[in-house]
Amino acid sequence: MRISVVQMNQGSDKLANIEQARGLIGAALAADRPDVVSLPETWTNLGGGREARERAAEVLPEPGGMGGAAYEFMREVARQGVAVHGGSIIERGPDTLFNTTVMFDRTGTEIARYRKIHLFDITSPDGTGYRESALYGAGDRLVTCRLGDTVFGLTICYDMRFGEQYLALRKLGAAVIFVPSNFTLQTGRDHWEPLLKVRAIETQCWIVAAASWGGYEERGATRHVYGHSLIADPWGHVVAKCSDGLGWATARIDPAVTARVRRDMPVLEHRAARRVDMDAAGRVDIDAVRHGDMDASGCVGIDAVGRVDMDAAGRADMDAAGRGDRDDAGRAASGQKAGRAPH
């Protein structure tokens, strides 16, 4: 399976953003013939304030129903025979907006929908404040989906700082985890690639991170996002990466690599066999694993503030499942490349 991550420089004009995505996806399909294409976070809108985000928002349809412009564009692309991971778009819910991923199989059928759990409420090193929760509601469920024999886990941007969510997705069978992002330039320089590599190493999953790049206007000021879209293998090697500017990068996802990494270093089985618990006084107690709480649909429960089954001491209740692999060098098989947008 070949996956392309698409790197955009979207602004506040939704229709212009759709056309930008159309051109980049078309170029990636022509050059690399991927089986899956992945878009960045909120690729239909970046900047322009609350009003622009409200204009870009779409009510997502019931299965098989007619959606808005971005939803129908992604379904149209998928019907060309390529699965589409839709990064995220702005979903208009009954009472609030959500930062939401939708994914389509090669027939244009929606197979997954995920609302971002961890909202970006931080102050950056230069003092700029970001309050995603002022506009968006938080999701409350982990989501996986399947294409062929591959299980995909869905996350969005700031989620990457919460390793327990990624371990829970691994427990649910994920071999590939998507991380569409609008990572700020300041945090991206120091944290983007290290965090993604750590998520790949600790879960022994492929990490697929399509990102936005460049400047955008927000409340009279120009802000910048980092870009550097990448794909990392389960050993933590970056096997495909975009440079600055618009473009895409493509890698082949090799299940044999996953299987060897997990077989040769069975960290989740070791996690299950013996775990280290810290009580409130900070004392270490190694006990037997306790299984995570799962509902009837197989989703790991997330409470209203986005914690993954955490007890009072802050422990994540997750057991281990699945094995894996790598080749001698720990690298993905041949076929990785990056593309630049046509001028």
Query: 167-224, pLDDT tens digit by residue?
Result: 999 999 999 999 999 999 999 999 999 999 999 999 999 999 999 999 999 988 999 9
* Structure tokens given for 27: 């170029």
By mean pLDDT, which of 83-87, 132-136, 231-235, 333-337 is the weakest?
333-337
Q: In the predicted model, is pLDDT for residue 116 greater than 50? A: yes
Percent of the chain with pLDDT over 90: 77
Q: How confident is the model at residue 258 (pLDDT cuts 50, 70, 90)?
A: very high
Question: Residue 236 corresponds to which amino acid?
Answer: G
Query: Total domain count for the chain?
Result: 1
Domain that holds residue 116: 2-254+330-340
340, containing H or E segment: strand 337-340
In 3D space, the residue among 306, 5, 46 whose CA is nearest the CA of residue 159 turns out to be 306
Distances (CA, A) of 185 to 99, 215, 225: 20, 9, 5
| CATH code of residue 112 | 3.60.110.10
Structural domain contains residue 289: no
Alpha carbons 17 and 11: distance in angstroms, whole number:
7
> Rounded mean pLDDT of 89-94?
97
By mean pLDDT, which of 238-252, 270-284, 301-315 is the weakest?
301-315
Q: How confident is the model at residue 307 (pLDDT cuts 50, 70, 90)?
A: very low
Alpha carbons 249 and 240: distance in angstroms, whole number:
6
Structural domain contains residue 6: yes
Structural domain contains residue 97: yes
Alpha carbons 162 and 307: distance in angstroms, whole number:
9
Structural domain contains residue 160: yes
Alpha carbons 257 and 279: distance in angstroms, whole number:
38
Q: Do residues 230 and 249 lie in contact, with contact meaning Cβ atoms separated by under 8 Å?
A: yes
Q: In the predicted model, is pLDDT for residue 115 greater than 60? A: yes
pLDDT of residue 279: 62
Q: How confident is the model at residue 339 (pLDDT cuts 50, 70, 90)?
A: low
Question: Which residues are identified as catalytic?
Answer: 41, 116, 157
Q: In the predicted model, is pLDDT for residue 158 greater than 50? A: yes
| 103 HSE (CA, 13 A, CB side) | 26
Structural domain contains residue 30: yes
Structural domain contains residue 305: no
Q: Which residues of 143-182 are buried (b: 16+ CB within 10 A; e: fewer)?
A: bbbebeebbbbbbbbbbbebbbbbbbbbbbebbbbbbbbb
Q: Do residues 244 and 211 lie in contact, with contact meaning Cβ atoms separated by under 8 Å?
A: no
Structural domain contains residue 307: no
Structural domain contains residue 264: no
Neighbouring CB atoms inside 10 A of 314's CB total 10
